[in-house]
Chain A
Amino acid sequence: MVSPNTELAYDSKIEGDVIVSRLDAVINWIRTNSMWPMPMGLACCAIELMAVAAARFDIARFGAEVMRFSPRQSDCMIVAGTVTYKMAPQVRRLYDQMPAPKWVIAMGACASTGGMYRSYAVLQGVDRILPVDVYVSGCPPRPEALLDALIKLQAKVRREPAAKRLFRT
């Protein structure tokens, strides 16, 4: 042992500088409060997504204001709009380029189920090509609904055994 710790009792010199917690809690705390979205804006839901990011609804209050247009810098893909079959492979490729851990919010009726576009050209729900974490109803959803989805996703992330996954060999 290089420096044996002889002081096992309370040390007033380091009080206030040390926090004892579980690693899961720390990792999930970091993840939930800086969840950078990948705005996959494909249709009118994207307008509502912009409103969520703007001052009135202000997604920054939940730490998700940094819309990253590069998949490599984002954590949470928000599929906002109608996913056509022509666009579906590109959506999947962008998802594949996101670094893990990553989550997906299907925003609105179209992204969740195909919505009103029951058609030969529209993918009937983005969950056919991506693992979706939270579905948001609405056409388009109110900004509050998307904020609620983000909060639900954060609650889901908080329950994850993050450390176990991090150090899994």
Chain B
Amino acid sequence: MTATADVATVLKEKFPQITGRESLDWPAFNVPGDQAPAVLQCLRDECAFDLLVDVTAVDWGVGQSPRFTVVWHLLSTTRHTYVRVAAACADDAKPSMPSVTGLWPGANWHERETYDMFGIVFTGHPDLRRILMWEGYPYFPLRKEFPLAGLDTSLPDPEVADETGARVKPAPYMGGPFVAAPGGPMDEAEPRAKDQSWTERQEKPS
């Protein structure tokens, strides 16, 4: 069994395009998107990283290229070390990434969540539906262009929406976000609204 430091050697030998990735804790690697499943399989089968801890993504911002990066976190349950693998999506407008549900069935819901929040399509996923938001929700909430307050849209059920007249409405933080001031007495350090000049009913002065 190879030691932690050897993960880089093993990977670089098999996949010369892999580069190291800045990391404060565990080894991390940047991988070309199309090679990601092969790299992850190599880590699982040859380096004993047998548990997929998390699949998530990063949105680097509107106009950035590459805009979306998918990140996998692996754990070795025998050696108790982690490794992080990141792959940039080639297409910024319609990001996609090969699915790893074939390697770890547990990737299924992680990939659904990443699709739900970022709109990254995992090709080869057996059932890529939204998992947190409802079917038909028009936005991807963790993308950078999506405001914290949300966007106006209709309720999931048109019948109930008609009956109640309720809609999905933006919920802006009135005066928020609420920030704690460090130091000082505790009653002053409590989280407070920074800007109380506007409310839900009274427009924010521009």
Residues of chain A having any CB pair with chain B under 8 Å: 85-86, 88-89, 92-93, 114, 118-124, 128-129
Contacts and interface: CB of A to CB of B under 8 A. Distances in A.
A118 B160 contact: no
Interface string B119-144: 00000000000001110000001000
B160 A92 contact: yes
A129 to B, nearest CB: 5
A130 to B, nearest CB: 8
A85 B160 contact: no
Interface stretch (B16-24, B49-57, B164-172): B164-172
Interface string B135-158: 000000100001011110001110
B171 A114 contact: yes
B173 interface: yes
Q: Which of B141, B150, B170, B171 has the most CB of A within 10 A?
A: B171
Interface of B: 132-134, 141, 146, 148-151, 155-157, 159-161, 163-164, 166, 168-173, 176
Nearest to B149: A120
Nearest to A96: B163
Contacts of B150: 119-121
Nearest to B173: A118
Given A86-B133, A88-B166, A118 B155 contact: no
A88 B133 contact: no
B170 A89 contact: no
A86 B141 CA distance: 14
Contact of A118 (B133, B141, B168, B171): B171
Contact of A129 (B134, B160, B171): B160
B171 A85 contact: no
A86 B156 contact: yes
Contacts of A128: 164, 166
Given A120-B149, A128-B166, A89 B132 contact: no
